[in-house]
């Protein structure tokens, strides 16, 4: 008997930088919550929040590796939302 209520995981999707930028801009406008925007576009709220954080790093508003730096850093290879590592933590032990 199959268990009811178990959802099949959806396949991993990829999004263009332009699409992510549009979603981030919608969130910054503030007329809808991040959760509502995520729901409207069939995205996870966690992914949208990661895109917002990465956009803040790229704009110099938050510490961390920019998208271009992250592309060239081996532990980040293949990640879509940025590596989430800060420059301080990536430089090794102090």
**pLDDT tens digit string along 40-92?**
999 999 999 999 999 999 999 999 888 888 777 666 655 544 455 444 444 44
> Given this model, what pLDDT does residue 20 score?
96
- Longest distance between any two alpha carbons in the chain, whole Å: 56
Q: Is residue 85 part of a domain?
A: no
Q: How far apart are CA 57 and CA 83, in angstroms?
A: 11
Q: What is the pLDDT of residue 4?
A: 67
Give per-residue pLDDT as tens, 7-47.
888 888 999 999 999 999 999 999 999 999 999 999 999 99
C-beta atoms surrounding 75 within 10 Å? 10
Domain count across the chain: 1
The domain containing residue 53 runs over which residues? 17-79
Model pTM score: 0.69
Q: Tell me, what CATH number does 23's domain have?
A: 1.10.10
- In this prediction, residue 87 carries a pLDDT of 44
């Amino acid at each position: 008997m199959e268990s009811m209520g178990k959802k099949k995981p959806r396949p991993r999707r990829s999004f263009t930088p332009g699409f992510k930028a549009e979603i981030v801009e919608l969130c910054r406008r503030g007329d809808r919550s991040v959760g509502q925007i995520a729901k409207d576009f069939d995205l996870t709220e966690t992914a949208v929040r990661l895109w917002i954080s990465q956009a803040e790093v790229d704009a110099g508003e938050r510490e961390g590796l920019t998208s271009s730096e992250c592309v060239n850093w081996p532990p980040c290879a293949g990640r879509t939302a940025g590596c989430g590592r800060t420059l301080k933590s990536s430089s090794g032990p102090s």
